[in-house]
Structure 1
Amino acid sequence: MTPAYVVFENEHRIAAGDLPEVARTAKQLLDQRKDATVLVFNGRTSALVDIDFRGSVDDVLARLPKPARPLDEEPAVPAAPRGPGRPKLGVVAREITLLPRHWDWLAQQKGGASVAIRKLVDEARRASGDKDRTRAAQDAAYRFMTTMAGNRPNYEEAIRALFAHDRRRFTALIADWPADIRDHAIQLAYSDQAD
């Protein structure tokens, strides 16, 4: 399972876990070694997390960005004002734009347009779930590798192998990279697959 956040100091992974945990570890390292440089990554997307490391550990922790709601988590029900939709059920009214033929088809569906659209979305999510997870894993690995290994030998060929779904070639091409970078890239790229 991929940790929520990961912090690297040069080519070494020094911490993984929730944001306060990795920020604390990074801050302690920065306090010990003034020449150290750290990068904090979102563990799932490999987006860099901007952390202001000025001040004490408590100062750093107080300024941490609030974590975003995971895509799978239902949004909190708004307290007020009540508008269209069914807030107690988590149903939120939003606007969509369709052509007249789409509206005509939806009007003929059992349960109405909203029920039909929800069914279509759920069906599409089930049908493309594996592809979406694979693409998200590849994108995360690509972002991480670009940041941490863009100047490493075989970088471009490894990216090609990653997007060609050639796991054997990918792992062979990055075999000589520093262990923490190599292992994290593999973990990101194939987090959606069993070994």
Structure 2
Amino acid sequence: MDHDQAEARLTIFQGMQRVLQADRLSVLRYLQNHDELHPQGSTPAPWVFDDATGLRLDLNWRAELAEHAAAASPGPAANSPSSAGVDSRNATRSRAVGRPKLGVVSREVTLLPRHWEWLGRQPGGASAALRRLIEDARNAHAAQDARRAATEATYRFMQEMAGDQPGFEEACRALFASKESAFQLQTQGWPDDIQAYLHQLSRPVWAG
């Protein structure tokens, strides 16, 4: 399980009730306990949502917990002198490729000749110039990007959990029009936990 997955914040709903909001590992353990205590589906199935994207996730807790356990318990060969030497050489070779301190990834970029000519004249060359341009664009549009991502996340969750709620279509229109008062008006009669999570997801939409 990679670091990003372990740190991701997830939310579990059972029916219209929010039962847990935690990191991925805690969510996996909750799913394990639920399945072991309710093998016949005697309670509503837990639905897991990604707090960053609003997407509903289909998690395989057995596979992921097994992977986590294996990663936490390295085999005895990992501590042997010979394997340590191999690991050290492999690490050295890995560090020699690219610029790992920057996390640089090499991919193809297609540009017109005049673009390459301009980039070649910039301090540090084409790669450094492209990185500066991208960072400048990210900083300039950070607020707009955050609002768009929050709008999409809120809408995804609404589709999954509130599609049959009264005022759904009107709430969607208010969301995409960034009309907070209208959105709150249309969702005020929805289940409390649904409203609370929508408020969390949509907060950046109304910022600024």
Task: Indicate whether the TM-score tops 0.5.
Answer: yes
* C-alpha RMSD of the superposition: 2.6
Q: What is the count of residue pairs matched by the alignment?
A: 176
Structure number with the higher helix fraction is 2
Aligned 1:110-129 pairs, distance under 5 A? 110-129=123-142
SS at match of 1:87: coil
Comparing 139-148 with 40-49, greater Cα deviation is found at 40-49
Question: 2-side partners of 1:53 and 1:93: how far apart?
Answer: 33
Aligned-pair CA distance for 1:83: 6.8
Aligned CA distance change for structure 1 residues 193 and 154 (closer, same or farther; 3 Å): closer
What secondary structure does 1:85 align onto? coil
Could you list the structure 1 runs, at least 4 aligned residues long, displaced by more than 6 angstroms after superposition. none
SS at match of 1:190: helix
Matched, 1:48 2:56: yes
Within the alignment, does 1:18 sit opposite 2:23 as a pair?
yes
* 1:154 corresponds to: 167
Cα distance in structure 2, aligned partners of 1:53 and 1:114: 41
CA distance in 2: counterparts of 1:82 and 1:63, whole angstroms: 26
- Name the larger-Rg structure: 2
In structure 1, the residue matched to 2:14 is: 9
Name the residue aligned to 2:77: none
Unmatched tracts of structure 2, length 5 or more: 1-7, 69-89
Alpha carbons of 1:168 and 1:149: their partners in 2 closer, same or farther (altered >3 Å)?
Answer: same
1:84, distance to aligned residue in structure 2 (A): 5.9
How far residue 167 of structure 1 moved from its aligned partner, in angstroms, is: 0.8
**Any conservation in 2 of the 1:29–1:36 contact (CA below 8 Å)?**
no
Structure 1 residues 67-121: Cα deviation after superposition (integer angstroms, max 9, x where no partner): xxxxxxxxxxx94456763234433332211011111111222221111111100
Answer yes or no: is the 8 Å Cα contact 1:7–1:26 preserved in 2.
no
Assess, with a 3 A threshold, how the Cα gap between structure 1 residues 21 and 191 changes in structure 2: closer, same or farther. Answer: farther
State the TM-score, normalizing by the size of structure 1.
0.79
Q: Are the equivalent residues in 1 in contact too, given 2:17–2:193 (CA < 8 A)?
A: yes
Structure 1 unpaired stretches of 5+: 65-77
Within the candidate set 141, 146, 152, 1:139 is matched to: 152
